[in-house]
DNA sequence: GTCTTTGCAAAACGTTTGCACGTGG
DNA sequence: CCACGTGCAAACGTTTTGCAAAGAC
């Protein structure tokens, strides 16, 4: 890895995640920037998101069966995904301590950390279900 | 949902996951079956895996940034993914109880459950690192 | 005979990559 | 100047889907 340059595109990506203040997907960032800066490439957005994560400016929230999300909050916290619409939100909960010490036998694996992903139904989708719009 | 039929293909998929006794991907199941039954379609494997999960015969282990896995073990347990090779293994740990009760404020979300995915380096990859084959 | 399931291929989806061109330091 | 970043399009790996033919009940 050699030295990193500052570019307009990188600033745009960082500022967009900052401005949107939620768990945005790479594509949402791309679409948002394209409004003001139509020539930006999708690859550039993906590359810069990864760089910003590597530099510790953003956190990547890896989501199975759906696009990954990026957010600003740097302290460790957990997420919940709406099983209906896929929206990701922060969970208001203290960090669980000592989880790795609860492992009985590591079977030789070197444990580094963990992610917890809660499943739930967000308020908007609860309303949709009640109104018979879905299910 | 209407009534389900028993087919050779569905049996093959169930038996393959059973025989392989690890966290297999849909593609691994497909390749394995193709040896003995070359005309099976990939779509059929995917469809049957989903059906078997729905019927409670298999569990789907959703993995971010990689293919989903399927396993047989039906009691609740957690998984660890090797950050190097992506292999999924079971974690030898008691189930964490009362996690949902630790949430301070649900913000209206209806919480249904959660998954924990540990990160680690499996023994094989530790050896590769020590031998200088990677990193 | 009817309705589900299959096999096949194409499409969908999120993401990565190759490469010629542009730009920051 | 020239290494690094960009824009564009094509490729990628996984999964889903449309549809005619085959098969279960």
Compare CB distances from B63 to A64, A83, A121 and report the shortest one's residue. A64
With b for 16 or more beta-carbon neighbours within 10 A and e for fewer, the B49-87 pattern comes to beebeeeebbbbbebbeeebbbbbeeeebbbbbbebeeb
At B27, which helix (H) or strand (E)?
A: helix B26-36
Residue B101: per-residue pLDDT: 95
Residue B135: per-residue pLDDT: 61
Q: Cβ of residue A66 near strand C, that is under 7 Å?
A: yes
Please report the domains of chain A, with CATH numbers, ordered by start residue: 1-74 (1.10.10.10), 75-134 (3.30.1490.190)
Query: How does residue B3 score in pLDDT terms, banded at 50, 70 and 90?
Result: confident
**pLDDT at residue B1 tops 60:** no
* A70-79, B17-26, B68-77: which is most confident: B17-26
Mean pLDDT of the B13-21 span: 96
**pLDDT at residue A65 tops 70:** yes
Mean pLDDT of the B41-51 span: 98
Residue B73: per-residue pLDDT: 79
> Per-residue pLDDT tens for A10-53?
999 999 999 999 999 999 999 999 999 999 999 999 999 999 99
A/B interface, count of CB pairs below 8 Å: 112
| Helix spans in chain A (H) | 8-20, 26-36, 42-54, 123-130
Query: How does residue A2 score in pLDDT terms, banded at 50, 70 and 90?
Result: low
Nearest to A62, CA basis, from A120, A117, A22: A117
Distance from B133 to chain A by nearest Cα, in Å? 18
Mean pLDDT of the A121-133 span: 88
**pLDDT at residue B127 tops 80:** yes
**pLDDT at residue B129 tops 90:** no
């Amino acid at each position: 890895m050699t030295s990193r340059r500052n570019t307009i595109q990188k600033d745009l990506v960082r500022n967009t995640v900052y401005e949107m203040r939620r768990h945005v997907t790479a594509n949402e960032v791309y679409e948002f920037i394209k409004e003001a800066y139509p020539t930006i490439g999708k690859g550039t957005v993906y590359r810069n998101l990864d760089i910003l994560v590597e530099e510790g400016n953003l956190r990547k929230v890896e989501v199975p069966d759906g696009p990954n999300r990026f957010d600003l909050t740097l302290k460790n916290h957990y997420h919940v995904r709406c099983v209906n619409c896929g929206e990701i939100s922060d969970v208001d909960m203290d960090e669980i301590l000592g989880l790795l010490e609860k492992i009985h036998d590591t079977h030789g694996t070197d444990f580094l950390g963990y992610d917890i992903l809660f499943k739930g139904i967000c308020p908007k989708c609860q309303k949709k279900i009640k109104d018979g719009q879905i299910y």
